[in-house]
Amino acid sequence: MAKVLLVDDDEELTRLLKEYLVEEGFDVETATEAPAAIAAAAAKSVDILVLDVMMPRMNGIELLQRIRRNGAIPIVMLTAKGDDSDRIAGLNLGADDYVSKPCSPGELAARLRAILRRSGQPSAATEVVRAGALTMHPASRIAEWQGKQIDLTGTEFILLEILARKVGQLVSKQEISRRAFGRALTPFDRRIDVHISSVRQKLGTRDDGQSWIQSVRGQGYQLLQDR
């Protein structure tokens, strides 16, 4: 089980990311300031660091520079969306990757797995999610439906995985939004509906003509179990 340290002073986002990563098989610790990251890197007590660029006292870029002087622990930077200067600076100083905030927990998990595989560290790469005729491999982003591989976009994979992990249960739109996009669902946001519609088409229909993914108006979605 890979050990991850999330360093970010946004406690709400950190809590959401931790909950998702733990469910994905990671061992997660959190911190709000730089000293915890410096100590963890020096002690080699974690396998990978996730650092927010905007932090009090010492920002993520300065923290990255300090850590890189003494070691090669894998590091992912959380940067503000559209802030190319921070991304370029981080990569030039030795960051392994970056994810834009607000970020999708699923995207972050995928980036962490990819970096851990490259660095030879342990990960949740062998996990398989099964729900009836559906088999999903989160690490490789491969999904098989009724014995055949289906072509899903990154977001479609994340949404279907969320439903597959709770097959037969109603999953609220708020939970889906928090787990897939890292934030609460806002009024008139139709992204989930659009992506789910696409996934429905790729799964086809049941023998009774129903969609495999049922919706409950105003509440959420449910992946039906095989009969």
Q: Give the mean pLDDT of 178-203.
A: 84
- Phi/psi for 140 (5° steps) reads -95, -5
Q: Which residue has the higher pLDDT, 82 or 92?
A: 92
State residue 223's pLDDT score: 97
With 70 as the cut, is the pLDDT of residue 227 above it? no
- Calculate the average pLDDT of the chain: 85
Distance (Å, whole) CA 131 – CA 129? 7
CATH code of the domain made up of 3-119: 3.40.50.2300
Q: Which residue has the higher pLDDT, 159 or 191?
A: 159
Fold of 129-223: Arc Repressor Mutant, subunit A (1.10.10)
Which pair of structure tokens corresponds to residue 164? 């597959």
**Vertex 222 angle, CA 219 and 227, to 5°:** 145
Domain boundaries, the chain: 3-119, 129-223
